[in-house]
Chains A and B, each alone.
Chain A
Amino acid sequence: MLAPITTAHYLVLSAALLLIGTVGILLRRNAVVVMMSIELILNAVNVNLIAFSRHLDQVNGQIFAIFVICVAVAEAAVGLGILIALFRNKETVLIDEIDLLKW
């Protein structure tokens, strides 16, 4: 009845997630939401990797995905730290109000 799911389905989903994440990064003003959009893109990468890993019948893709998650954790921790330091000094998280340096 329904067509079986193929690797291409996963790739399309991943592309859609990447696009939504890009929209968030380019259009939103709130820095916290921008950081969440970066997490979305990293998840798109992981969907891609897992799909390819299964398609090629290898484990390398899964291992790569573990490293991607590890990097996402590290980035989130440092990024939120930077955000707190900024908020303490400037009392804003809106990207276009952070304009001491010419953007």
Chain B
Amino acid sequence: MDYILILIAAVFVNNIVLSQFLGICPFLGVSNKVSTSIGMSGAVLFVMTFATTVTYLLHEYILAPAGLNYLRTITFILVIAALVQMVEIILKKVSPPLYQALGVFLPLITTNCAVLGVAILALGLENSSLLKAVFFAISNSIGFALALIVFASIRERLELANIPEGMKGVPINLLVAGLLSLAFLGFTALV
């Protein structure tokens, strides 16, 4: 079944962060605590899915028919930026504690390459349809969440480890990410 394949590919084989290098900034920046990682993942899930839906429809019914494909980048990013603003406003009214918890991460989602990246990738799916695109977005956000949360749990433990001075901070994080990426590489044979 196509959909199972999309899910497995997005989460394991072609993991959006560890394989496709999208969403690295939040991945390295937010993942020092598991709790914030979970919050960020939730926000990304929401924005990514919503954004892909809108951009897919925008492309399918407006841009493509009018031959305005070259406006894709600019319209997509504006849609994402607008959506993030909306989410901020709604969240502030509906759930202030959640809004506080996510804090500065929300606006950062606009520049999360994973969101724009997935929106564009969704256009190139085999036999694409709106349902497939949305499912693709959800699968990728699950993949993002997985990578982020696993990485965060490792980082929490890393805080207590004895790390050489020159490797502290960015280098050791990248190295761990590399090992994680290596582990995920093993999933290639799944499909």
Do A and B actually bind?
no
Which of A's residues lie within 8 Å of B, judged by CB? none
